[in-house]
Amino acid sequence: MSTTGNKSISEIGRHGLIRELTTFSTWRSDHVISGIGDDAAVIERDETTYTLISSETFIEGVEFDLSFMPFHQVGAKVVSAAVSDIYAMNGHPKAILINLGVPNRITVDMIQDLYKGIGMACSDYHCQLSGGDLTGSHNALVISVTVYGEVDKDRIIYNSGAREGDAICVSGDLGSALAGLKILLREKRHWEDSEDPVMQPDLTDWEYIVKRQLVPVARKDIISLFEEHAIRPTSMIDISQGLLHDLKRITNSSGKGAYLYQAALPIDLQTREAANEMEEDVDKYALYGGEDFELLFTAGEEEVTKLAEHSKNFAVIGKITDDAGQVEMQTGEGDVISFEK
């Protein structure tokens, strides 16, 4: 008997459910090095490299909203989100396959715009569009993206390698994609309430955070820095679900805990201003906001020093503890708050 039975997916947690579901599949292929748990499947390639494969599905109304996202931006964003999983394992994307489920209201012109965005992003990330299919869909536009990548065997980084005392680092800033989404949703409501159908929202004050939501960039540059300067994090993941969610994947896989410093969370000024306008707590944006596609990684002191010599575009936000499963944060006032497991 299953232990999860009639529970809803949110009750038992997405990753817990995926792990349980995987137990129904017992066949093991000799070439598969690592399957469930990391951002990409790891498969033996040749003496020195692994193949990485990752796949993600984006459903209109869930992962993207066509009412404020132009098709070419949707195309670029799904590619960024997908290749980010390969960078998260310190690898390089090489090829992409796109499947579309297309409802009737979507015209060929719209699909062409979508593919223009896909094509531009593929060039940015040095990926070849190598296949895919088109099928029908009743309601929502469905976009599935599969990425093939490669990584040197001696450079692969799993999310299970964090060691006690490692610094917890994050590239870029946190919560800005969520802040951008909040502004876009507010403008959408204004437009829906307005009597003027051609009203254009004024987003000039919010350029950075709106861009972070609409056209996020996967951190290929950070992976290149690691490579150039032989910097070797112990664990890594990309922030797609939110800092706390993705950090817990690292601590759970590594059998460790984490201690964060609230004051160290990198938050852009526009993100703060957006939270102010919404009368919301900006730290919640940073802790729970998804889709930043920044890299969250752990590393020893020496590696962090080396990285700091070459880049200012990352922050140390805490350290790994031996307190398995425990994630705590020291607030600006010196209090310590604990996040549920």
Query: Minimum distance between the CB of residue 24 and its own copies, rounded to whole angstroms?
Result: 4
**Residue whose CB is less far from its own copies, 58 or 206:** 58
- H and E: helices and strands count for the chain: 11, 13
**Residue whose CB is less far from its own copies, 157 or 299:** 157
- Rg over alpha carbons for the chain, rounded to the nearest Å, is 20
**Residue whose CB is less far from its own copies, 145 or 168:** 145
Contacts of 267 by beta carbon, 8 Å cutoff, 6+ apart: 173, 174, 175, 176, 282, 283, 285, 286
**Residue whose CB is less far from its own copies, 148 or 226:** 148
**Residue whose CB is less far from its own copies, 127 or 315:** 127
Query: Minimum distance between the CB of residue 11 and its own copies, rounded to whole angstroms?
Result: 8
Pairwise CA distance, residues 324 & 256, whole Å: 4
Residue 105: alpha-carbon gap to chain centroid: 30
**Residue whose CB is less far from its own copies, 23 or 200:** 23
Structural tokens at position 184: 């876009």
Spatial contact of 43 and 50, defined as CB atoms under 8 Å apart: yes
Please list the residues that pair with 315 across neighbouring strands. 170
Q: What are phi and psi of 309, to 5 degrees?
A: -65, -25
**Residue whose CB is less far from its own copies, 105 or 312:** 105
**Residue whose CB is less far from its own copies, 74 or 258:** 74
Name the maximum alpha-carbon separation found in the chain. Answer: 65
Contacts of 89 by beta carbon, 8 Å cutoff, 6+ apart: 38, 39, 40, 42, 52, 149, 151, 156, 157, 158, 236
76: exposed, middle or buried (Cβ count in 10 Å: 0-12, 13-18, 19+): buried
Residue 23: alpha-carbon gap to chain centroid: 26
User: Nearest-CA neighbor of 75 among 127, 135, 23?
Assistant: 127
